[in-house]
Structure 1
């Protein structure tokens, strides 16, 4: 396996039957029933189907008339895209607690690069589990997750144990995972291409890997190079954030409440280190520092300070953060969480630093 491949930590998160699940969440009468989001008229199309409807073969992009024939008890619900967008933003905010490297694919699907992350967690699998739990707790919706060392495998993994599943493909498992798969199950190979491959005698990942790249390019053009790579479980595509983040932050929850001034200042340091590490790695700096304090009874408060210039060195960031914290002394009760964030960010043209290999 190429060294570059083993260094990335990619999570693919995919909400389960997203639009339909939102409708079932918001309308108890729809729970447990086959639901299709979309138009029920003659020329209507299914935008999303609940798992109850999928058992009858109903799927997205299917004409509504066909769906109704396959499932006579199907309930059609008019789409509420503003609601779906709001929930999507809520879910994206959870992602942002862990990494700024978020590549949305749609409202209900995204790639996350957690090779280095804001929680300083070594296990990408554990991060995926935490995100799934947070999504369920905050939205009452479930998500499936795939964890691997590249985007192609992470996507395959998230489809492997739906709904609300989690599957991990480790670097030493990539080739074995791809070999028995039907080419039609590969992300990036649609029905037409799969049929063409079948005509050429290519039915599985193992079949695809037997063919030289020149042959694949001859029959599939530029995409042949991509097929050659994924048959070998190789995918160099980075996770590309769709826009510069508005803020970056880190927080620490303590096993025992902090009560002394010394404990509080010491407890703030891991968040400061994490935020500044991100600034160094990405070349992004901010103008506003915010300190977050959560007391033992879960009451929380924040204090912020803005500067005309960017916070260009760690010492200045530390000094201002500590001043914001000490201005709250004496604290009336024990503290269970401390956090630091930077906002009003500006990105430089510096490239992202080399990422470290972390254990799955």
Structure 2
């Protein structure tokens, strides 16, 4: 049976700032823009003692705690610590699946032979991350990803919880269905109408021919996971390549003038272009996101697929602003975002090349192959070296979606 860990950094964004600035230790810290309508992104555990949590308005939090330290988000800092975090974990196993910027799954089935127990390994990893990076982590260990993820949430901060085939029904099944990763608010509400409130309710629920296809598939899928019978739930995917790069910004004052909006699109397109080039990637899907000032509206995203891949700022800007002009209803705007997705690194990019270039490339390949055989060592061209270096470069493997948008509660 496999042994899978879920390692989750506690109050990640706040913890990064505390690791960087030792004077913040034992102080109530929140991450949020210090603006009129700011919402708290995350609160450290000292702040939580004042009943301050992610999603709270900043002005209310300040009323609860007059010594509250407010720090502006710094995504580059979070990426730096995420890279250090995942690099550190690689000394325990190469089988790491990045779930988000501050959490991952690790298959330690083979690694475990070097340790006395699962608990010992978890304690060593936890201490290692805390000592080397000053980041507190909670670890859940189990025989599938679903149970490991739930387990890591049970004890925070600096918790270790082990779920095995003997105790999962006693520990996991009494919990609310809201504790299951992948079951969102809408799905939970739908299950509640069927009197399904706990995991035990879900696994005991008997499906009938009267169920809708949506409900049938939903219950079947999660019943397999929560009874330990989903074999796919034990597979760790090491493909952690970047899927998209984008920026979103919530405005302190609503945007209504086209000139302001246009300037924003130019600025953000230049920033995205720079990040694409720094990571040696290109994309051919450009999208924009908008949320109107009306509180009843949801975020809307629209996209366009280009014929050619690009990282050019002007191409990003022109396509994004054209999309915006097509869909904007002239109402005041609270949030805007732009991004590029369907990314490839430059070595994967498929380009048209001439017959002469094909012949030239084939000749070079034949020559390097012959030299390799004669010298009994691998010989590669400079371009091939750069390609392999890029593919093996860990920098671009850590953030699944490299968006400058912070999630609440990190």
Regarding TM over 0.5, the answer is: yes
- Are the equivalent residues in 1 in contact too, given 2:98–2:240 (CA < 8 A)? no
1:1-360 correspondence to structure 2 within 5 Å = 7-117=1-111, 120-121=114-115, 123-213=117-207, 218=213, 220=215, 222-235=217-230, 236-237=232-233, 238-243=235-240, 307-308=377-378
Measured in 2, the distance between the counterparts of 1:91 and 1:34 equals: 24
Deviating more after overlay: 228-237 vs 79-88:
228-237
Measured in 1, the distance between the counterparts of 2:239 and 2:143 equals: 21
Q: Secondary structure at the match of 1:226?
A: helix
Residue 221 and residue 209 in structure 1: after superposition, are their counterparts in 2 closer, same or farther (change >3 A)?
closer
Cα offset, 1:104, TM superposition: 1.1
Q: Once the two structures are superposed, what CA deviation does each residue of 1:40-60 show, in whole Å capped at 9, x if it has no partner? A: 212323222101222333333
Q: Secondary structure at the match of 2:196?
A: coil
Measured in 2, the distance between the counterparts of 1:216 and 1:75 equals: 51
Q: Secondary structure at the match of 2:127?
A: helix
Q: Once the two structures are superposed, what CA deviation does each residue of 1:146-192 show, in whole Å capped at 9, x if it has no partner? A: 10000010011111111111110112222222221122222222334
Give the structure-1-normalised TM-score: 0.61
Q: Once the two structures are superposed, what CA deviation does each residue of 1:70-104 show, in whole Å capped at 9, x if it has no partner? A: 54543210122222211111111121111111111
Measured in 1, the distance between the counterparts of 2:139 and 2:228 equals: 18
Measured in 2, the distance between the counterparts of 1:111 and 1:196 equals: 29
Cα offset, 1:113, TM superposition: 0.8
Give the structure-2-normalised TM-score: 0.54
Which stretches in structure 2 are left out of the alignment for 5+ residues? 242-375, 381-387, 393-410
- Are the equivalent residues in 1 in contact too, given 2:151–2:162 (CA < 8 A)? yes
Residue 46 and residue 345 in structure 1: after superposition, are their counterparts in 2 closer, same or farther (change >3 A)?
closer
Measured in 2, the distance between the counterparts of 1:344 and 1:230 equals: 38
Measured in 2, the distance between the counterparts of 1:90 and 1:42 equals: 34
Residue 111 and residue 209 in structure 1: after superposition, are their counterparts in 2 closer, same or farther (change >3 A)?
same
- What is the number of equivalent residue pairs in this alignment? 248
Q: Once the two structures are superposed, what CA deviation does each residue of 1:316-351 show, in whole Å capped at 9, x if it has no partner? A: xxxxxxxxxxxxxxxxxxxxxxxxxxx96989xxxx
Q: Indicate the RMSD between aligned Cα atoms, in angstroms.
A: 3.0
Q: Secondary structure at the match of 2:139?
A: strand
Measured in 2, the distance between the counterparts of 1:309 and 1:69 equals: 66
For residue 336 of structure 2, what is the aligned residue in structure 1? none
Cα offset, 1:119, TM superposition: 7.4
Measured in 1, the distance between the counterparts of 2:145 and 2:17 equals: 30
Measured in 2, the distance between the counterparts of 1:217 and 1:12 equals: 33
Measured in 2, the distance between the counterparts of 1:243 and 1:189 equals: 23
